[in-house]
Amino acid sequence: MGNCNNELAEDKIFLGGTCNNSVWRDELMPMLQVKYFNPVVEDWTPECQEEEYKQKEDICRIHFYCITKEMTGVFSIAEVIDSVHNKEKITYLHVIPEGFDERQLKSLKAVVDLVKRRGGIAYIDDDILRSARILNYAHAKYSPKQA
């Protein structure tokens, strides 16, 4: 689980997307070679909500969203679209297709296409390892160089 009191860093990856007991974060985080902010906590408080907003807006330049079949609401989709329209952010969307029906996948493909048209990187793929590789590379490429 996350900690809403994460240390501040010059640059991190924001891990947004499906919650609801999805396991993609548990699979992805050990593969990341970069700092990240995981907004998932056991006890969601107003302080944690504030910290998530600060991390998303002020600290994490790279935003990664993973959408899985455990998604029950649509706020994560709204966050992806908000992020990709912020040209100070680099936005990635990974849709894991397993468990979605044909109509849902058609709609999610339209979201993927929209994110791409707006300058983000988006794809539908079963393999979370692909995202780990992309995020590790992106962080190395786009992070400010340490002196």
CATH of the domain at 35: 3.40.50
Strand partners, 64: 15, 92
**Domain annotation covers residue 147:** no
Q: Number of structural domains, the chain?
A: 1
**Domain annotation covers residue 7:** no
**Domain annotation covers residue 121:** yes
What sign results for the dihedral spanned by CA atoms 9, 14, 19, 22?
A: negative
CA dist., res. 139 & res. 67, Å (int): 21
**Domain annotation covers residue 3:** no
**Domain annotation covers residue 8:** no
* Confidence at residue 143, expressed as pLDDT on a 0 to 100 scale: 65
* pLDDT per residue as tens digits for the range 51-79: 999 999 999 999 999 999 999 999 999 99
